[in-house]
Structure 1
């Protein structure tokens, strides 16, 4: 007996309240409705973004919720009107939709789509399906979706504009990283900052996003890439991926931006902040050269509410920009990145420090929060 059109009971990690571990529960996953796809998740990675809604200081999230937004899986069934997917297809759910019809999707200037509420935090958008209902139920209660993906479930339901079909021979335990971390950092350097050949770069924060940004800087032809983190144990991977210099602010006798300015004779051409705290964002901007320095903000702390920037800094020729999902038009770009990985143009293996069974998800969060991992992949 097939499962098409039927409710599926499966395992999921449910966040019932903030400040508490996730609970492995049996959930009911409803069949997909029009223009929806039900996906069996095979592998999902952890991202710091997944920790925000369960942080007691984060006030905007809706609970209970099934988190997760960096996964890969196989199509189980499709709803009415779905023409681009069929059962058995390998896919990557995407928090950045691409309808290919709105003014944003039709513009080469952005990767946004009007299906993503542009006046809301992406962390709390797409908490329900398009008809404003959930496909998840647990203990008789509806459970919110997360970022349109909810990959911390053995089965999930996503809109067909939040899904990329990938090659049948793709390694799902690696390409799941394209759902957020790698794509965001790599694309920030290539698509948003537009790092140029021969330029100097500074990358702040060497998690999965930061290391991916280093890869992007190298591919773009940067001649000098300065990697910054308060954990010196990350420097080996940074150098292996292309960093030419590594700095730990805690080991310096002056502010990191002053050191970078001295090292580069006035500041770097491109600074990319992947940490998101106010101190690193400030340091990243300060480390850019006058005249043409570009600072790209990639990570944002869940408690971040603002950053003071003097108009004089901009008048002196510096530019500030931000990126979401690395500037990639999601459905169009992800299959191409998967192909590049298969051709060994992209190294995802170096980013994965742990592979654990899904039941150990709370242990994985501990490793991530303690800075003992880069990317942890959970498998069902």
Structure 2
């Protein structure tokens, strides 16, 4: 199911929650809408579901215009499934009854599924690995099992569009990791188009085909997880996805000079033109290397003011002049709170060679 969102805006009592959003979603694509609280991502999802009407623009799902200023199709007239943050299970229905309910009432259920309702229920129970729990009531299930039931209810009628509103936010860290894999598997099995709202960059990077990063009712960037993480086009995206340090300075051809060290030159490792125009070099925490000395005189001096052990790596905050930067190192390299260190930009060998070749030309 394709989606076309054209110049979509939504206003609440004078507050502009969405500002002329344009987005095209391909058939069977997994799209993550990523952003902080209040950025408009849930408003966008509610507009797609039909719970809200646009103030401007239009929404086209498949070949039908389902929402514009003149009319809005209600949710029951859209071939969608919805998974909520709160699970939204009915306390008086068991697991099997939760799956049967949409098969009986969803208007887009095919005749083949209606004729073989029991087979479809069995198939969905197998998908979510809850065959042994078919008779269980919601209060007899764990958090992860409840979320599987919510997913099963949504996919049972085979909707062409699946909308998910932060479905993993109420689960603990280990369950969230497990459910990421299960949602990916369900996507492959159902072939549904998925629009997935989250504030968790890890979820978006791990599962989505493309990520839409939103901020203050607008789209900041759309791209693959690799593009969003490695080539942010705005300071907001750089900070929000990957927690990049935004180093200010001057770009000159393919080299950057940090303002804090006029004698230092960093090669271009693929920084996009939008960041160069702002005279910013985004450096992710793992792109810095730290040393206790400055033998090659290329390091920026700093003072460690925070150390957080994270198992396979250590997270540091380092005071550089009047700025605080974040640095991640593996556990083989350890420094102490208050220690004087030097920060160096890590440049892959092939990138160094590329810049040398460019310089020779």
Q: TM-score range by the shorter chain?
A: under 0.3
Name the TM-score, length of structure 1 as normaliser: 0.27
Higher Rg: 2
Name the TM-score, length of structure 2 as normaliser: 0.27
Query: Relative contact order, CA 8 A, sep 6+: which one is greater?
Result: 1
Higher normalized strand content (fraction of residues): 2
